[in-house]
Structures are given as C-alpha cells and as structure tokens.
Structure 1
Amino acid sequence: MSAASQDRLHDPYPTRLDHAIAPVPRHEPSVWGDAGSGPLPSVDLDAFAAQGYLIRPDTVGEDALAPLGHELERLAAELDADDPRVIREPGGTIRSIFAPHLLSALVADVVRLDTVLPVARQLLGSDVYIHQARINLMPAFTGTGFYWHSDFETWHAEDGMPAMRAVSCSIALTRNYPYNGSLMVIPGSHRTFYPCVGATPRDHHTSSLVAQRIGVPDENTLTKAVDADGIEQFTGAAGSALWFDCNLLHGSGSNITPLPRSNVFLVFNSVDNLLTAPYAADGIRPEYLAARATRSLGLAAPSA
C-alpha cells in the first residue's frame, strides 16, 4: 500500500462522508510560535489560541489604501471576462480575483509587510508560503455572502492539506460596518473539526466559489456551535486586519447597503505542511486556488 493510501486510511479529519459522524477534537495547536519569535505579545497569542482569531488595526497604512483601491479597479478592468481567476456573482459583477499577488506588485508588497509576514511566521512557528490569495469584492446592493464553513475542511478534502497549520489574514480596504456584509466568526470553533456529509463533485471549485453547498456544516451543528460560543463580527477601519485560524467557522451575509466592501485575503501555510493528494476529491484544484509550487517570501518589508 502506498504512503498516500495509508495516510487516507488514517485520516484524522475525515469529511465528505456518506453519513454523519461526531465532531473531531483538533489534534494540533493553533499557535506554533511564542512571544519571542515575532511581533505579537503573549496576550495576543493567548487570545488567538483561545478564540481562533485576532484583529490587528493599522496593518496597512492610510497612504497605501487609495493606491490599492485603484489597483483593484485596474485588475478588474484588465482581466479577461473568461479568466478562471475571476469569480463572478450570478448577476455578472466580480466577486473574487484569485492570485492577485502574482498579478500586482502592490499586492505582493502587502504580503511582505512587517505587519503581515512576521505575524504569519510567528503564528505558524515556521517559514511560510502563500497557499492562496484573493481579492474579495462585496459591491453595494448586489454583493452576496459566504455561507458558514471552515476553510481547512475544503483545503484538507480538496487540496490535500494534511494538518491545521495555516492561517488567513483578511485586510480591509474599505470600512467594515456591521451591515455591509462584514465577516462573522464563531469564536472557539477552531478547536473542533466538523466532518461534512456529501461527496465532492468533480470540478467542485467551479460552483463552490460562487455558492458552497458541499463541505459546509449542517444547521443543527451550526446551531450547537453558536449556542456554545456565540458569534463575533469583524468591523473597523480600512487598513485593519482580521487574522483567523484555518479551522475557524466563519461566513458573511449579503450587502444590501450602498456601501461597498473589499479586502485582500491572504492564506499562509507552513512550509512543514505541504499539500499532498486530496483526501476527499478525485483531482487537485488549479494552482491559483491551492499553490503546490511554494515561493519564498523573503524578508518582510516596512509597513506601508
């Protein structure tokens, strides 16, 4: 039997099953570094370990926000309508643009900020690379939400991410209000893996990036999680960042206000957690969704 087959027989996080099973306690820590290995003090590391998320204001300086906003507009205008990296809402407006750090020097600079890269390395306790990056756009009136999910469930099932050693950084480029589709999280939910029912369809990403229906917890599971831990929301000024664990349950509502919302979304994975064959899918997803060619991020750049 191959090593890959053995890994799947002993998968600690089974999902996409034909029947429901009990939630699985997390095997790994959520914080791998310590206060001496990066900019976060012990109080922030303890909060992240307990809640699964952390809000960091002033991650991107005010003088960099307007150029980044213009860069988003440029990318949206210049990318071909049939470019697979561009995900559109059912009505045709752009929902997400994937791999912007490979399309824009300005976005690449954000990845290497000293308010970003050292934090990722500290939380994961190792060197890191970009597993996935995207720009999310929540246009006024028409922006639709993201249903409750754990990113790790998808990355494990469809990308072959072995362990919970990845972290996301969502940097607001516009103010996040409670009413314009800002991200909601279930604090503490990162400590439990919730297996999902339903086999992964072929080329699942072609539909799930617009509306995910496979790989999401059922309503009873979500109700119990919220009853236990409640819901928190990421609100605040442009330039602030939400860091959250790869297994934290999160989602967002639609934006029916005249206030658009946009963010740069960066996923850092540990170089000690490289992707294998998918655990619950027939084939791998495209490189712009799940990087297998790791790229060195070099040294952090000064804050923008």
Structure 2
Amino acid sequence: MRLSEDQVARFRDEGYLFLPDTFSADETAVLRDEAAHVFTLDREEVWRETSGVARTAFAAHTYSEPFRRLGRHPRLIEPVMQLLDGQVYMHQYKINAKAPFDGEVWQWHQDYGTWKNDDDMPEARAMNIAVFLDDVTVANGPLMVIPGSHKAGVQEAGHDLETTSYPLWTLDRAKVAELAEAGGIVAPMGKAGSVLMFHSNLVHASPPNISPFGRTIVYLSLCEVENHIRRFKRKEWIAHRDFTPIEPLDDDCLAELVAARRRGTAAE
C-alpha cells in the first residue's frame, strides 16, 4: 500500500495520519479473537493493570501466528518504509487494551523520548502504526494527539514509575499545555480495522476507560534499520534486538486465516 502525495504532506505537517477501513471486518475479527486469547496467557510479556486485567501484551508476533502475519503486513510496512525512506525492523510490538471500566490512563509522552532515554536510539527515524481491533469512540479511552507537536523535537521528560503499571518518560503539565495551545488536541476515532500512523515525536496520551466498552489497539513500532538501538538494558521482548529488515508478506496473508477459520466452522 502506497500513500498519496497529499497523505505524505499531511503526515509531515500534522505528525499523524488516520486511514479508515484498512482491514476488513473478517480480518479484524481474527485479530480481535486472537488478542482475547493472548491476554489470557500466563507469560511475562503480558502486563496487567493493578486491577488484574490485561494492559499490554508485548512481542505477540513472536508467539502468535495471526500477529506474526500482521507484523509483516504490506498495508502497514510499506507506508512506513515510504515515510522513513528505507527498510525497517520491528523495534517494539504491543497489543494495548483498555478494558471496560478498568482500563487505566496512558500519560502524555513522546515515544521517541522513551526510545532515546532507555534504548539509545540515535534519531527519531522511527514511528508507530496502530490497528484498531475495536471501534474507538469518545467513550472508551481514545488516543489523543497534539497535531504538529512532533516539529518541536524531543521534549524534556521525567520518568514516571508510579502512575501506572508501565513506566514512561512523561511530559509535565506546563509543556503539554503549551503544545496544546499551539496545536490543539484531537482524538482520531473510527471503526475496527482503521489504522493510525504517527511520528515518534508526536505528543500523545489516552484517558482511562470508564465505559462498559473495551478498546484494543495493536501498535507496531518500526525503526529504520540503520537507526537501530545501541543500548540493551530493557528485555528483548520490550526493545527488540533483531535488526533484520522486514520483508512484507502478501496482501492476503490475513485473509488466508479468515478462509481457514471458515473451513473449520463448516467442518463442524
């Protein structure tokens, strides 16, 4: 999948791009069911809220076939290669859940701030591309971004080890207010199967989910291969050390799983 010149220009200016209906309802259903299974696993890669519900499952592409295929899907990999102008490797892979009633906050932060401070990634030649597995609405803790904040570069951040179960390098309130005054705040929302791409310096956060509706999003954090990390203090399943360029699969790689599931249902 290739972005248009207008889409590229919009990404450069605003720091994010929303692509509705990137995956079909059937493809998304396969991934949503698999995410529910992954969240039940007793693995160190699955982090939980203080309430016990799943918060994040790291590196699911290494132990789940549907998520392995998603991690090499051309609708995700090719646009990122286009924007970063080079081959990419998987720096991080997360399935983030906002469980009904219990999904906690993600504080205001820049992803590159964490990647720079914790992993010694040389430059912000990396980005996120996110797949909505549920409909994302105003009610269930949507991701909020500050358009254009990526242009301000890396911001000073403090290491928050207390607010949630996951430590982040977070921005203080004064800086968030300053950036929001300049760029505003938007919350890209849409149906399951939509995709959100955003720059690694884009300031973003999400509120708690106090609704009865779950919200699960898969994040591929992709880095240009020459920009790979130099520090290895975090566990490999959090910050990957395989810098092999990703070779995209065929576009029907998830559709094959849909067809296999239909065959299995018919056989029953």
Q: Judge same fold: TM > 0.5, yes or no.
A: yes
Residue 233 of structure 2 is aligned to residue 284 of structure 1: yes
CA drift at 1:295: 3.5
Query: 2:244 matched to which residue of 1?
Result: 295
CA drift at 1:110: 1.2
CA drift at 1:195: 3.5
Query: 1:41 matched to which residue of 2?
Result: 4
SS of match in other structure, 1:45:
helix
Query: 2:72 matched to which residue of 1?
Result: 112
SS of match in other structure, 2:170:
coil
Q: Give the alignment's Cα RMSD to 1 decimal.
A: 1.8
| Percent of paired sites with the same residue | 33
Query: 2:263 matched to which residue of 1?
Result: none
CA drift at 1:211: 4.8
Whole-angstrom CA distance in 1 between matches of 2:157 and 2:141:
27
Whole-angstrom CA distance in 2 between matches of 1:208 and 1:299:
37
Cα shift readout 1:11-51 (whole Å, capped 9, x = no counterpart): xxxxxxxxxxxxxxxxxxxxxxxxxxx61011000000000
Query: 1:241 matched to which residue of 2?
Result: 195
Whole-angstrom CA distance in 1 between matches of 2:175 and 2:140:
26
SS of match in other structure, 1:286:
coil
Total equivalences in the alignment: 253
Letter in 2 for 1:266: L
Cα distance change, pair 288–230 in 1 and its aligned pair in 2 (3 A)? same
Residue 100 of structure 2 is aligned to residue 140 of structure 1: yes
Contact 2:23–2:193 (Cα < 8 Å) also in 1: yes
Residue 227 of structure 2 is aligned to residue 273 of structure 1: yes
Among candidates 27, 41, 50, match of residue 64 of structure 1: 27
Whole-angstrom CA distance in 1 between matches of 2:171 and 2:154:
7
CA drift at 1:189: 0.3
SS of match in other structure, 1:215:
strand
Cα shift readout 1:172-205 (whole Å, capped 9, x = no counterpart): 000000121010000000011343255x69xx6x
Whole-angstrom CA distance in 2 between matches of 1:120 and 1:108:
17
Whole-angstrom CA distance in 1 between matches of 2:237 and 2:69:
18
Contact 1:87–1:209 (Cα < 8 Å) also in 2: no
SS of match in other structure, 1:235:
coil
Whole-angstrom CA distance in 1 between matches of 2:210 and 2:34:
25
Structure 2 stretches of 5 or more lacking a match?
255-268
SS of match in other structure, 1:276:
coil
Contact 1:134–1:266 (Cα < 8 Å) also in 2: yes
Contact 1:88–1:95 (Cα < 8 Å) also in 2: yes
Whole-angstrom CA distance in 1 between matches of 2:183 and 2:39:
38
SS of match in other structure, 2:66:
helix
Whole-angstrom CA distance in 1 between matches of 2:92 and 2:128:
9
SS of match in other structure, 1:232:
coil
Whole-angstrom CA distance in 1 between matches of 2:164 and 2:226:
27
Query: 1:102 matched to which residue of 2?
Result: 62
Cα shift readout 1:34-87 (whole Å, capped 9, x = no counterpart): xxxx6101100000000000001122221112211211122122x22xx32111
Contact 2:106–2:205 (Cα < 8 Å) also in 1: yes
TM-score (structure 2 length as normaliser): 0.89
Query: What does residue range 173-252 of structure 1 map to in structure 2 within 5 Å?
Result: 173-196=133-156, 198=158, 210-212=165-167, 215-252=169-206
Structure 1 stretches of 5 or more lacking a match?
1-37, 278-282
Structure number with the higher helix fraction is 2
SS of match in other structure, 1:155:
helix
TM-score (structure 1 length as normaliser): 0.79
Cα distance change, pair 136–197 in 1 and its aligned pair in 2 (3 A)? closer
